[in-house]
Structure 1
Amino acid sequence: MSLVRVALPPLAQLTLESPVSVTWLDRQGQVTREGQSTLLQLGQGGKTPAIVFFLHPQDSLLASMDLPLLPAAKTVAAVQCAAQSLILGASEQMHIAHSPRDAQGRVHIAWLSRQWLSEFGQLLRLARLTLRGLYPAAYGLPVNAAGLYEDHLLVRHDLEHARVHPHFEEALSDLLLEAGSGLQWIGEAPPQGRLKPLPEAQRWTGPLPGWGLHGGVQQRRASQPGWGRAAVFCAVALAVWSLGLNLYAAREAAQGQQLKAQMNQRVKQAFPELPVILNPLQQARQQLTARQASAATDATQRFSSLVLQAGSGMPFMAGSVQSLVFEKGELQLSLLEDARRNTADKAWQTALTQAGIDVSATEAGWALRPAAESTASEADTHAGADDE
């Protein structure tokens, strides 16, 4: 991907159709081509990388000042205060940028109208261009180089320090005094042949400083064409998602109502004694608990009744019972070997039968149960036999 650097005309005169000088560099910083274009044409040329812009010398207001070593926050305040004495007009209407404090204790500053920077940002948005940096004109030069541009003398001393002289003739003598430091000249023949020449193509190839005026340009990407469509797509996607969520919720609610109706019906079938079903799960649990408690009570009462009947109606049981088993409403008595099957005396069986207790012999002793259940069991047995 190539690097694009653009030299601007004065911002007060800049429009989308204003001609600008464009230089394309490769990754090694070498010039690949140069030309004239406009902001609008640059934005229409396909995918354009972020552009570095250099102000016109007329807009390149630079100064240097000595500052003591201060914390970053206090350095900003000191620069703002010192710049007020250099700015003609209201300083609050200017965007002020500054470099870090160098080894000599100097801080280099630049300032420009906030209104011009805002209008420049609007032009970039309209042209669909992305700003990478905005620097005074002299920072386009290589380090330790000078040159004449638009009747202004541009001088680049080091990475952070550069100067713009509006009066070329007056500044030329001072420049020639610095020629002994190896200063190079960009452009036509150097003055008096005392400066080393550099090709004109090197004018905008200098390294970028660590500071610039681009902080005052507000590129509101949300307002650029394309982002509006993205916002519309997001809104449509949100609407579709909301509609789908509502449909899903409605379907789940319908299924929930159907499931609730089925639960009510099943509980009503299982527990017909319930007058109304309000909470099927809770009411079913309550009915099961009640039935279990009732069944346990009935079983206890039946067991006690059978034991009492057996104790009073079976005189031979005293000291002869080996074990008792109560299961399925039936009391099974296991007798000792010498007391089993007392068949000689049937009077006690008759007495138990008259008391409503059915007695039947088993291999280990006797089985007792209420006569009504015995009759029902025999009826079921006979019915099965008839069916066969």
Structure 2
Amino acid sequence: MKVDLLRLQLPPWTDPDDPTLAVRCGWRGSGGAWRDGGTLALGEVAGRFRSRRCEACLHPGDLPMASFTLPPLSGRRLRAAVLGAVEPCALQPLESLVVGFGPREADGTVGAAWLGARAMDGWTRLLRRSGIAVRGLHPPAAFLPLAAEGWVGCRVDGWCIVRTGRSQGFTHWMTEGADHAAGLAAPEAPAFIRWLDVEEADAAARWSGEDWRWSLPSAEAAGVSGGTALAGPAFGWGAIAAAVWLGGLNVYAGQLATQGQALKRQMAARVKAVFPDLPVVVNPVQQARQQKDALAAGGPQAAGSGYAGLAQGAARLLAEVPAGQVQSLRYAPEELRIRWRDGGVPSSEAWGALQARAREQGLAVESGAGVLSVRMAASSSAADAAALDPQRKDPP
């Protein structure tokens, strides 16, 4: 039989693996009229009906439903808010659930439902093995008609199924013999609820619902609907979030490095402005501290004949050294230590030329472990001392 739309109501989940499992069905013909097909074995459904589209709804006892009042969010933020609202209501961790939810209504409420991932995968496999392809599993209220006013409900296997709006509804367990109205007494319940008798005249009407806009996605159709959300692939989302976080961290680190270089250049300019005798500023903080200590120890003249003199001599000494070979500069009493960068140590030929220039400038140089030590030559030191103390007499 060719039908336009076939709908199935699944029985309670019992980890089934039997195509003879009984399901209730209804269909819509090409003329738009709905028919109730009663109860059929699942294996018979695919052989009896050739449908353009097939939908299935879960049993009300397997699918908790709720409506949550949420702020005006959309996309990932709305999904995160729904999962946060579902978590305290669920009896399982979010990682083991499939969660579906609808759009946010004008009153701020969002309808949601959740099911164990094991049950979802089991139903998907069984339906596929029976030759039935569904895009998702719907809440049972999705197949009920939408009333222009009030609510629409029916009773199935001791459960009350109620559709309260375009994309919202709920299920409620009713004890045997209990009155529908008494069981649904609530402040938000409307004055009028249309109850369908699914066993008699209203059997076809129970399948005729339209405009329901969300479902719980099956394994093959995860993410088909814009209003669905999966909690199962939490690890995948965590990996994506970690990648985004690492990318942002790298960008932030690059910004800090650029800011650090700019700050170092500003500090070097300020140190150069305060101590104009410095020929080159490699480590602004260290050189400023050393210059200050030299001034405090011996005054301007001592600074000029100590650190400043050595720095000026070292600058002239290294004038012919390619730029970028010096890593740091450190001043110790009567000695200036220059550390080469990796690979910047002069060759033996360049070292000989460096020693020759040092002697011409009255400097003594030593090299070891990647460090160049610059001192005033003995004769030069004596001349400086005599210049500082005119009354000093050298011993005979």
TM-score, normalization by structure 2: 0.49
More helix by share: 1
The structure whose Rg is larger is 1
